[in-house]
Structure 1
Amino acid sequence: MKADRAGDQRAGARIETRALSKVYRGATRPAVDDVALTIEAGEFMTLLGPSGSGKTTTLNMIAGFEDVTAGQILLGDADIARVPPHRRNLGVVFQNYALFPHMTAADNVAFPLKQRKVGKREIARRVAEALDLVRLGEHGSRLPSQLSGGQQQRVALARAVVFEPRALLLDEPLGALDKKLRESLQLEIARLHKELGITFVFVTHDQEEALALSDRIAVFRDGHIEQVGTPAELYEKPASHFVATFLGDSNVFSGHARDGLLDTGWCRLRAGGEVLTGPVALVVRPESLRIGPPADPGANVLSATVTDVIYQGAFRRILVEFDGGFGGQIRDGAAGPAAPVTIGQRIEVHWPAEAGVLVPGEGEPSETEPPVLTSPAGSAR
């Protein structure tokens, strides 16, 4: 079942959606609206977004479980938008495992092969290989009730790949597991992708999971795709306010761009990178903020009061309120011992110009509900 490493790209199928839309009867807006997405053969693509953003509906249309209102779904060169699910040759893994409780693990894995009328010897060989692939070779005779949640999900994975599908679709498969087990199975899924070499399409609302697993991520919002890119591209160069605040923690200043500066109404911050006009936001990740006076005279510098200090093992989160009333957070300690900080302490906070990302703003800045801190380039106090 392992893919030939020299031919991994041939093991999976290229998937493309063109102007894909889904409108449910009685709905006031489309669940999926004109989605165009290309998933390369052998790629691990994650569809990420909050509840109701359209990511699961898109996956279900690719799988054939939802009818398409408009648009195309190409698997390789063939349009499968009207092809029944059982003829698409796609493996699917659900959050709830969907195992037959009266069948052993081996019989659950064998089920799709029996449906395809594969011979008994071939079934036995493929089932053994699939169970070994998910490291359950010694558990084939157990019923689902005799397996842990993580083991049941691995049986579901084995069942989804045993018939050698052209792509594997995973709908929040780790959502029902606790944090430690979820992280363990993330490594298993990444290993399976490398060993099988087929196309993976993975749905999640967990940002850390998406960053850890994906070759690329498509961020969904209100039925459309907000941005597609590698984890590093999305994290370091978000294209919108939504992506910047949804994917990972962010400090965000909102204001107006004037003369190359961001004017928040209470301070002015020099903006680097792309020049925008009108309402804008500047974004800086918490790990880019530093406490104390900067060595770089071009860095942004703001005064703040510490409101909380949260210890999280490898790092600490320091919550602050800047003098303009903006709340923000700093993440430090990962690089070594950090200086003591106490609640109520007055501090200076700085960040380098290149740490800031300028994105279009979303509406007018509010004086009564100021946004979280943002990160631009040089400082002008």
Structure 2
Amino acid sequence: MRPDRHGGARIETRDVCKRYRGSSQYAVDTVNLTIEAGEFMTLLGPSGSGKTTTLNMIAGFEDVTSGRILVDDADIAPVPTYRRDLGMVFQNYALFPHMTAAENVAFPLRRRKVGKKEIERRVAEALDLVRLNEHGNRLPAQLSGGQQQRVALARAVVFKPRALLLDEPLGALDKKLRESLQLEISRLHSELGITFVFVTHDQEEALALSDRIAVFRDGRIEQVGRPDELYENPASHFVATFLGDSNVFTGQIRDGVLDTGWCELRTEGELPAGPVVLMVRPERLRIGAPAEPGANVLSATVTDVVYQGAFRRVLVEFDGGTTGQVRDITSGTPVTAGQRIEVHWPGHAGVLVPGDEIDQPRRVAVSAQ
């Protein structure tokens, strides 16, 4: 299927809140997000962060407590789910077990009273798009998990929606199959040219697929940006630790140096006086090779070495008691648990974020009138 590359829908949430009846807390709290036409936007966060609830409000499965959701500048609050022209893919596939793959894909077209010949043509195109054109007569039980998810994808795009909403569609699959379908979803986005809104708690998945990522925390958006922006320049301790691993050093900035109380570390960047956190990604740390001039050098004890194929994780405890890790190539300098080593990294390799970050209390909802 090769629909016109119209770019899909532009989706915007304005001060969107969601509070469930009987709850004193907001599940989604003042979410403002603009998803550009044709963009692949991922809503990323831990369980209970509000990402799926936000997607369900866009889809129409959940009502908005307050705020507005716009699709191409039109408020969709009064528009029923089936008329929003948005495709939906669920984690559990949601296929009809008594229908063949082709019949499942045809279902949304029949609901729209599309002609029989047109249904046959579109179903064939959709199954070909997901590379299942030879499996149309099979029941879901006769298909693998990955094939069932492809049928769900075909059903969601067969009616040419303005946007495709995907709620953790790969969560039930094993790692290898999940990575294979990530490539398929990326290909679909490129070929269809429509807006994708993808929900996941898998950081690697978000980094691999997205044009931009919105990181959710406690019902709010913590940071929005391109994958490389969020990984290299996290705006908070939460983003830095949730989106990948980080070595964390806390202290006070004095004369451009981070004083941790047990060591002084050179940094780059500016923050107001007060407590700060220095985040250094494990792959930026080095062991064995000579440190470059001006680098931070710390003594540490190896606590464990985790083999990961081409890479290894060297877990360490620095002399000040802080724990950390180095992600290094397996063929690097041999190290073993209990060994004393020196770890070093250049001053520009770290990112400073405010160190007084604490869990902010969620806004308490007023009683319903």
TM range (shorter): over 0.9
- Which residue in the other structure is 1:206 paired with? 202
- Which residue in the other structure is 2:41 paired with? 45
- Which residue in the other structure is 1:376 paired with? none
Does residue 154 of structure 1 match 2:150? yes
- Deviations along 1:261-301, one digit per CA (max 9) or x if unpaired, are 22211112122112332121000100000013644221111
Q: Please state whether the residue corresponding to 2:16 is helix, strand or coil.
A: strand
Distance across 1 between alignment mates of 2:7 and 2:259: 52
Give 1:169's match in structure 2, choosing from 165, 170, 195. Answer: 165
Distance across 2 between alignment mates of 1:325 and 1:82: 57
User: Structure 1 residues 293, 190: CA separation in 2 closer, same or farther (over 3 Å shift)?
Assistant: closer
**Partner AA of 2:93 in structure 1:** Y
Unaligned stretches of 5+ residues in structure 2 = 359-369
- Residues 12 and 199 of structure 1 are in contact (CA less than 8 Å); yes or no, is this contact kept in structure 2? yes
- Deviations along 1:109-136, one digit per CA (max 9) or x if unpaired, are 0000000000000000000000000000
- Deviations along 1:197-256, one digit per CA (max 9) or x if unpaired, are 000000000000000000000000000000000000000000000000000111111122
Unaligned stretches of 5+ residues in structure 1 = 365-381
**Partner AA of 2:78 in structure 1:** R
Distance across 2 between alignment mates of 1:77 and 1:65: 20
Does residue 90 of structure 1 match 2:90? no
Q: Please state whether the residue corresponding to 2:154 is helix, strand or coil.
A: helix
**Cα shift at 1:173:** 0.3
Q: Please state whether the residue corresponding to 1:175 is helix, strand or coil.
A: coil
**Partner AA of 2:251 in structure 1:** G
Q: What is the aligned-residue RMSD (CA, Å)?
A: 1.2
Distance across 1 between alignment mates of 2:36 and 2:187: 19
- Which residue in the other structure is 2:348 paired with? 354
**Partner AA of 1:25 in structure 2:** R
**Cα shift at 1:73:** 0.6
Give 2:175's match in structure 1, choosing from 170, 176, 179. Answer: 179
**Partner AA of 1:2 in structure 2:** R
**Partner AA of 1:56 in structure 2:** T
- Residues 40 and 212 of structure 2 are in contact (CA less than 8 Å); yes or no, is this contact kept in structure 1? yes
Does residue 194 of structure 1 match 2:190? yes
- Residues 279 and 363 of structure 1 are in contact (CA less than 8 Å); yes or no, is this contact kept in structure 2? no
Q: Please state whether the residue corresponding to 2:199 is helix, strand or coil.
A: strand
Does residue 330 of structure 1 match 2:320? no
- Which residue in the other structure is 1:379 paired with? none
Q: Please state whether the residue corresponding to 2:305 is helix, strand or coil.
A: strand
**Cα shift at 1:194:** 0.3
- Which residue in the other structure is 1:367 paired with? none
Does residue 2 of structure 1 match 2:2? yes
Identity among equivalent positions (%) equals 80
Distance across 1 between alignment mates of 2:260 and 2:20: 42
- Which residue in the other structure is 1:63 paired with? 59
User: Which structure 2 residues correspond to residues 96-245 of structure 1 after superposition, within 5 A?
Assistant: 96-245=92-241
- Deviations along 1:10-60, one digit per CA (max 9) or x if unpaired, are 231110100011011122210001100000000000000000000000000
Distance across 1 between alignment mates of 2:357 and 2:3: 50
Distance across 1 between alignment mates of 2:247 and 2:55: 32
Does residue 32 of structure 1 match 2:17? no
What is the aligned length?
Answer: 358
- Which residue in the other structure is 2:363 paired with? none
**Partner AA of 1:339 in structure 2:** T
Distance across 1 between alignment mates of 2:221 and 2:182: 24
Give 2:338's match in structure 1, choosing from 341, 344, 365. Answer: 344
Distance across 2 between alignment mates of 1:209 and 1:363: 27
**Partner AA of 1:184 in structure 2:** S
Distance across 2 between alignment mates of 1:31 and 1:217: 19
**Cα shift at 1:363:** 5.1
**Cα shift at 1:361:** 1.4
Distance across 1 between alignment mates of 2:35 and 2:163: 10
User: Structure 1 residues 363, 120: CA separation in 2 closer, same or farther (over 3 Å shift)?
Assistant: closer
Compute the TM-score of the two structures, normalised by the length of structure 2: 0.95
Distance across 2 between alignment mates of 1:237 and 1:173: 28
**Cα shift at 1:354:** 1.3
Give 1:251's match in structure 2, choosing from 219, 244, 247. Answer: 247
**Partner AA of 1:177 in structure 2:** L
Q: Please state whether the residue corresponding to 1:50 is helix, strand or coil.
A: coil
